[in-house]
Amino acid sequence: MRRATVDFGAAGVAGTDAYPSRRAQRPSILPRRDRCVYGSWRAGGPLTRGQYDAYAERGFLVLDNLFTDTQVAALRYESQRLRQHAATLDPDTLIREPEIRELRSVFHVHRQSECMARLASDPRLLAIAHCLLDDPIYIHQSRLNLKPGFDGREFYWHSDFETWHVEDGMPRMRALSMSIALDENTACNGPLMLIPGSQRHFVSCAGTTPRDHYKQSLRRQEYGVPDRASLAWLVEQGGIHPAVGAPGSVVVFDCNTMHGSSGNITPWPRANVFLVYNSVRNRLLAPFGGQAPRPEFIAARSEVEAVRAPGAVRAR
């Protein structure tokens, strides 16, 4: 394999921006300046020592069968209901595929569904997030991601933090995502793929961000995506891990872990609920890209209140 050539930028940054991106003509790779895990492992906590260490090392963790079959059935029912009654939802939160009208994502889902709100405050998820972030947390973003059979399009490689930093103003890397599988995620139907160890490196992307970029990027992202040389280098270091799992499994991954998914050309659809937890001390500032903030349904600014656990997802 031909080794990739990448530019490793200096750790020093201008002003208060710890992770400058979309400012230069050439991409570069900067070292991470924040911890990946903030809390210390404790016996009796939500993660085993092996799981805790694996997350710190690889930047993600796959937890099988965290939710029961009856709980998954309730979430799948609600997912289907949201799709069938999409006309009753906030139209701005509905993202459709670029070439077809098939629904791709429903954002702000925890504010539009009582079932999804209970999921977002499920004590098992909150315990894991508190263990890794070691701070009161709030929901930065929530969405239902859909990949219908045959028509589900890809999500290109990206670091969520790069976008949240440049376009939303998230200052530091003290956030994580959880992807809850509602369907079987196989190696064939476009599962989430992650690059182990990539959370230790920040890929500073080239170019500038067009105005209201989010209106296009939620359907097909073209700006803020890593260059091929940087991606190849990251893969040379850590490989690629497809996060396959049964319904009810959960993928927990750091905000800077490089990830993506291929298109789904199989007959098997998949749906996943994404929940993003951010430290209350890491709440959003003005976007570091210099543009107007993205809407609340993408990046919470006013709805910054610590999440507490009233109870688990209930079966129907």
Q: What percent of the chain has pLDDT over 70?
A: 87
Give me the pLDDT at residue 267, please.
Answer: 86
Spatial separation of the C-alpha atoms in residues 153 and 268, rounded to whole Å? 13
Higher pLDDT, 65 or 224: 65
Question: Is the pLDDT confidence value at 205 over 70?
Answer: yes
Question: Is the pLDDT confidence value at 257 over 90?
Answer: yes
Q: What is the pTM of this model?
A: 0.90
Spatial separation of the C-alpha atoms in residues 289 and 24, rounded to whole Å? 12
Question: Is the pLDDT confidence value at 15 over 60?
Answer: no
Confidence of residue 50 (pLDDT cuts 50, 70, 90): very high
Confidence of residue 196 (pLDDT cuts 50, 70, 90): very high
Condensed to tens digits (0 to 9), the pLDDT of residues 274-291 reads: 999 999 999 999 999 988
Task: For strands 241-242 and 103-107, give the pairing.
Answer: unpaired
How many of the other CB atoms lie within 10 Å of CB of 91?
8
User: What's the rounded mean pLDDT across residues 183-212?
Assistant: 89
HSE toward the beta carbon, residue 52, CA cutoff 13 A: 19
Integer-rounded Cα radius of gyration of the chain: 18
Taking all residues of the chain, what is their mean pLDDT, rounded to a whole number? 89
Give me the pLDDT at residue 308, please.
Answer: 82
Give me the pLDDT at residue 235, please.
Answer: 97
Condensed to tens digits (0 to 9), the pLDDT of residues 36-46 reads: 999 999 999 99
Give me the pLDDT at residue 225, please.
Answer: 86
Q: Residue 200 has what DSSP assignment? A: G
Condensed to tens digits (0 to 9), the pLDDT of residues 113-148 reads: 999 999 999 999 999 999 999 999 999 999 999 887
Higher pLDDT, 315 or 235: 235
Least confident of 54-63, 86-95, 96-105, 221-230: 96-105
CATH number assigned to the domain covering 33-40+49-208+219-282: 2.60.120.620
Confidence of residue 190 (pLDDT cuts 50, 70, 90): confident
Spatial separation of the C-alpha atoms in residues 183 and 72, rounded to whole Å? 9
Contact 196, 60 (CB under 8 A): yes
Spatial separation of the C-alpha atoms in residues 15 and 282, rounded to whole Å? 18
User: What's the rounded mean pLDDT across residues 42-60?
Assistant: 97
Give me the pLDDT at residue 301, please.
Answer: 94
Rounded to a whole number, what is the distance in angstroms from the first to the last CA of the chain?
52
Question: Is the pLDDT confidence value at 10 over 80?
Answer: no
SS3 of residue 1 by DSSP: coil
Spatial separation of the C-alpha atoms in residues 13 and 140, rounded to whole Å? 26
- Tell which residue, 109, 105, 79, 86, has the closest CA to residue 221: 105
Spatial separation of the C-alpha atoms in residues 124 and 126, rounded to whole Å? 6
Sign of torsion over alpha carbons 122, 126, 129, 135? positive
Confidence of residue 264 (pLDDT cuts 50, 70, 90): confident
Spatial separation of the C-alpha atoms in residues 113 and 169, rounded to whole Å? 27
Q: Residue 245 has what DSSP assignment? A: B
Question: Is the pLDDT confidence value at 215 over 80?
Answer: no
SS3 of residue 179 by DSSP: strand
